Amino acid sequence: MAQAVRFHQIGGPEVLMLEQVSVGDPGPGEVWLRHHAVGCNFADTYFRSGYYPVQPPCGIGVEGAGEVLAVGEGVTCVSPGDRVSYNGGPLGSYSTERLMPAAPLLKLPDSVSYETAAASTMRGLTAVYWMMKVDPRLKAGDTVLLHAAAGGVGLLAIQVAKLLGLRVIGTVSSEEKAAKARAMGCDAIIFYRREDVPARVRELTGGEGVQTVFDSVGADTFEGSLMSLRRRGMLVGCGTASGPFPPIDALQLAMQGSVYFTRPAFVDYFADPVERAELAGWWFDHLAAGRITVEIGARYTLDQCVQAHRDLEAGKTIGSSIFTLGD
């Protein structure tokens, strides 16, 4: 028997329960995976709360790292004993063991630990596609505005941006978070709770504004994000921590300087195998070489899943949060 966090109805963190589950043998195209560490992401709260539609009862979590125990018929991309990580596939990573499709699995370099992989596969690959693919006009020397710069994705996105030659302005809520963002290479900090973000952006860019805004906050920051763009810049709506983005007014985009808005989804940037291999290869090469630092701000056990979600939604975490399951 394995242990898995499941929920039988949508709701707050209290609906999460740790249960005993049977695993069984892998079917065609599947693997039996033993987790050593599991990612705990803000997006997980969207499934639990019903913002992302699911049909309970079901598991939760989309990111993990561990060892392949067995493979089903037709699986050739991995073998028993392989060290792997993943983001995607059916919900259910909050578990000690599971069956899942082999397709999302990525082999881990020997120098990348399970904890590092669980803390950064989703976040790291997200940071890579944000910076390399979403705004194709973004180039070395451009300036970007990154909201929630000290979050799990934010700290990695700063480092990816700097490796690509970008200048990063980050927004944070505290001096502690500012110090973390600066340590990862953030060029300028804006304290969004006490400063006028668009005004500070204009000061920091000589009145021009930034080429791209990465806004993972949503409702509370949308207007300020639009006002921070330079002419024909792009607002990337990549999260809704404060609530959904409002309906887009096409005339507002024109009046703001013919700017663009996009709401990208991870799956659409990793659906093509060639593009997926390119982005994953870039990420793990830099991670294995030590050019990227992964900040693990909180570690939980699976039976602390309720507290983990409470901490995420209260904004108490810095860097990545993971569940540890032992080596």
- The domain 2-120+295-324: what is its CATH number? 3.90.180.10
> For residues 19 and 2, what is the distance between their CA atoms, to the nearest angstrom?
8
> For residues 169 and 153, what is the distance between their CA atoms, to the nearest angstrom?
15
pLDDT tens across 286-306, in order? 999 999 999 899 999 999 999
Segments of the chain with pLDDT less than 50: none
Domain spans, the chain = 2-120+295-324, 139-263
Query: What is the predicted pLDDT for the residue at 284?
Result: 96
Query: What is the predicted pLDDT for the residue at 152?
Result: 86
87 close to 152: Cβ distance less than 8 angstroms: no
CB atoms near residue 148 (< 10 Å): 27
Query: What is the predicted pLDDT for the residue at 242?
Result: 84
The closest alpha carbon to 148, from 186, 196, 200, 120, belongs to 186
> For residues 273 and 18, what is the distance between their CA atoms, to the nearest angstrom?
35
Q: What percent of the chain has pLDDT over 70?
A: 99
Query: What is the predicted pLDDT for the residue at 239?
Result: 85
Q: Decide whether 2-120+295-324 matches 139-263 in CATH topology.
A: no
Fold type of domain 139-263? Rossmann fold (3.40.50)
Which residues touch 326 (CB under 8 Å, ≥6 apart)?
Answer: 36
pLDDT tens across 104-148, in order? 999 999 999 999 999 999 999 999 999 999 999 999 999 999 999
Listed in sequence order, the DSSP H helices in the chain are 42-49, 114-129, 152-163, 175-183, 197-204, 222-227, 250-255, 266-270, 273-288, 305-313
Q: Compute CA distances 257 → 205, 216, 250, 261, 306, whole Å.
A: 16, 22, 11, 12, 44
Supply the DSSP symbol for 319.
Answer: B
